[in-house]
Amino acid sequence: MTSTVHIAVDCMSGDYGSHSNLQGITAVLQQTPDVHLHLCGSKTDILSGVPSSLTHRITVYSTDHVILPDLKPSSALRMKDITSLHKALELVADKTANIIVSSANTGAYMALSLKKIGLSQNVKRPAIGKMIPCLYESSICKHTLLLDLGANVNCTSETLVSFANIAKDYLAQTQQVMNPKVGILNIGSEAGKGTEILQKTFSVLSQHTDIDFIGFLEGDDLLCGKAHIIICDGFHGNIALKTMEGTIKAFYNLLKTNMYHSLRSKIGALFLGPQLRNTFGELYNPKKYNGALFMGLNSNVIKSHGSADAESFAYAIKTAYQIAKSSD
């Protein structure tokens, strides 16, 4: 018998608010029969946004307060009001839900996650990680886990090494990858390149007997599938991720514009259009990869883009579902 996955969802956070989030939630309920969603937010909005035929697969936790996009972490920790994020985190902390999804601002979300859920044993600093697609036939894996993506702007070599260990344990638990290849994001692949911190990290990982370290990787290696894990500080990881996503969007928009620029290109689009839509929809669509993971915590926590629309938010919940299923 298939076990039900219980996901706590902050329905109110994000740029588009509860209406858009509930559209994504409805899509997930329609497409995923073995999921039960614990929805935190305005009871009126939730019950009007979810079709009555699906309400037996949701539990509503009513709250009218929300974490604002510009709320500082320190202010979030001092809040007396119970927001939709507070309630969703409590559901994970008390094991009512297996995992949480929210589009709340990263700083406040991480601070409250640390307070409500706490760090795993032997973890000093959490990280934000995300699976990115590997697009070459020579790739050793279908996805690479990239971390950190913004939780730690500045990192010591000890922190970077700990990221490798956190990611290694995560892939062993959820992907059954027992000996992943690990690389460090740098400005060059040569051993002498990069900052003093990266050099020290290189030295430590090179002598690490439990990690299959392959050295430095450059930005153009991110989608090549040369490593199962790529580590970096949160400043450069966030820039790298946003650059990839922005480049893909710009290329796709440029392609669509030129495909319908002339009669000849329109004719070509009739033949190439379906294949291109399939390729971009399955591999290059950034919405499909919405849902980053707060790593190193006692429970799984998923961060959706603050700018996520209904489709993107649905993918974040699907990511949470897949992680929860693989963690059983």
pLDDT for the residue 284: 62
pLDDT for the residue 199: 96
pLDDT band at 43 (very low <50, low <70, confident <90, very high): very high
Instruction: Write out the H or E segment, with its range, that includes residue 319.
Output: helix 310-326
- What's the CA gap between 222 and 226, in Å, rounded? 8
Helices (H), 35-156: 43-49, 73-78, 84-93, 106-116
Asked if the model's pLDDT at residue 328 lies above 70, the reply is no
Which domains does the chain show, CATH number per domain? 1-118+297-327 (3.40.718.10), 131-259 (3.40.718.10)
pLDDT for the residue 48: 96
pLDDT for the residue 98: 95
pLDDT for the residue 2: 64
pLDDT band at 104 (very low <50, low <70, confident <90, very high): very high
The answer, as to whether pTM is greater than 0.75, is: yes
pLDDT for the residue 283: 61
pLDDT single digits (tens) 209-233: 999 999 999 999 999 999 999 999 9
Asked if the model's pLDDT at residue 207 lies above 50, the reply is yes
- What's the CA gap between 237 and 145, in Å, rounded? 11
pLDDT band at 288 (very low <50, low <70, confident <90, very high): confident
pLDDT single digits (tens) 77-93: 999 889 999 999 999 99
Kindly list the distances between the CA atom of residue 308 and the CA atoms of 7, 172, 262, 288, 313, in Å, as whole numbers in the listed order. 18, 29, 33, 11, 6
pLDDT band at 261 (very low <50, low <70, confident <90, very high): confident
Average pLDDT score over residue span 238-262: 82
Asked if the model's pLDDT at residue 247 lies above 90, the reply is no
| Residue 29 DSSP one-character state | H
Asked if the model's pLDDT at residue 327 lies above 50, the reply is yes
pLDDT single digits (tens) 149-183: 999 999 999 999 999 999 999 999 888 899 999 99
